[in-house]
Amino acid sequence: MRPLGVTVLSVIMLIGGTLFFASGLSLMLSKDTAYPIFSEEYKVLLNQSMYGMVNITEELLTEIYDTVVYVAIFFGAVYAVVGFGLFTMREWGRIGTVILAGFNVLYGIFLMFIQPLAAVSIVLNLVVIWYLMRPEIREKFTRKISIEDRVLGNQNP
């Protein structure tokens, strides 16, 4: 039986993965209309944060845009796969979720210098890690295979 917390986390991961993937794909497919808006907004952001110390060229902005698109698609796929693994109670899904939550904690620490509300994200991701590392939750992900099943070859009880 899957714990309610695991079900909720897996649904959140699947929804988040779908949104990441759809966002990246829509940015890729609508580059003609989205890129000019991105370009203007990002120039303002870079000028404010770097105090004009970086020479912002069109090539740099295009590379940043393409990187954002591919990173969104990549993380969307990763979140969806890990969310599926978590939903199906696979150990790799639990470990993948812990790794992604750890990555989000590190990202949140860097983001706190720009946005102090990132502390909320850090706390939520630490709660996810704590929850998935609890012994009673970890135990749910381990598959107990009897000696008869091993001998007979039935590895999916």
Mean pLDDT, each 10-residue run in order, the chain (157 residues): 93 96 95 90 76 74 92 97 95 96 95 90 97 94 72 63
For residue 43, being part of any structural domain is answered with: yes
Question: 146-151 — which CB contacts under 8 Å span 24+ positions?
Answer: none
For residue 155, being part of any structural domain is answered with: no
For residue 151, being part of any structural domain is answered with: no
For residue 156, being part of any structural domain is answered with: no
For residue 133, being part of any structural domain is answered with: yes
Domain extent for 92: 4-144
The total number of structural domains in the chain stands at 1
